Amino acid sequence: MGRPDEAQPELEVTDNKICQVTTANQARKWPLKGKFVASKLSVKYAMLHKISYGVQEHVHAGLFQNVIHKVMASDMTRFDQLNLIEEKRLIAMCHGQLYQQRMKTAFDRKVRPRMFREGDLVLKKILSFKPDSRGKWTSKYEGPYVVKRAFSGGALILTTIDGEELTRPVNTDAVNKYFA
């Protein structure tokens, strides 16, 4: 191996870091003792902290300026790409909201309101989870019950046919009309 200043080092820059420093005859020039290895530090970091490199990193000022220019250009393209990603994310979010709105209107068109009046006969869904010996053949509804009072929020106060009032109000989701 010759002296470090015999050959002009070449510099390859990828991903804001100096990846490989080789000489014209491809012989590796190791840094001097106590100096940092350029392949492990970014160019920006080296510039900000004015780190001095060993023999391996002796580069002419013009070449170093070229490297800095390439790094800044890659930073600008990365910034533009991030802005583009943000725009695409907003567009996708808007499309998602429009899709949800279309699905809601399509569903709401098919929904038929269930109105209960006082005196209607209804079947109440059995909501207990007690095991039954009949298994899946157990009845899902009990009743019939008579609607004593219907509230606007969907709550119903039910009574049995004998006139006994149930202790708790029931939601209209747990009730079906009974047609006798």
pTM score above 0.85 = no
- The mean pLDDT of 78-91, rounded to a whole number, is 84
Q: What is the pLDDT of residue 171?
A: 93
With a pLDDT cut of 70, the percent of the chain lying above it is 61
Asked if CATH classification 2.60.40 holds for the domain at 121-177, the reply, yes or no, is no
Reply yes or no: is the peptide bond before residue 144 cis, omega within 30 of 0: yes
Structure tokens belonging to residue 132: 């039954």
Alpha-carbon distances of 164 from 4, 123, 158, rounded to whole Å = 104, 15, 9
The Cα–Cα gap between 156 and 153 comes to 9
pLDDT-derived band of residue 77, with 50, 70 and 90 as boundaries?
confident
> pLDDT tens across 109-161, in order?
998 888 899 999 999 999 877 777 888 888 889 989 999 999 988 899 999 99
| Residue predicted with more confidence, 62 or 131 | 131
Is the pLDDT at 59 greater than 70? The verdict is no
Element (H or E) spanning 110, and its range?
A: helix 61-110
Domain boundaries, the chain: 1-111, 121-177
pLDDT at residue 156, as a whole number: 95
Q: Distance of CA 31 to CAs 5, 36, 40, 76, 90, Å?
A: 12, 7, 12, 31, 49
Extract the tokens encoding 120. 């209607």
Q: What is the pLDDT of residue 1?
A: 47
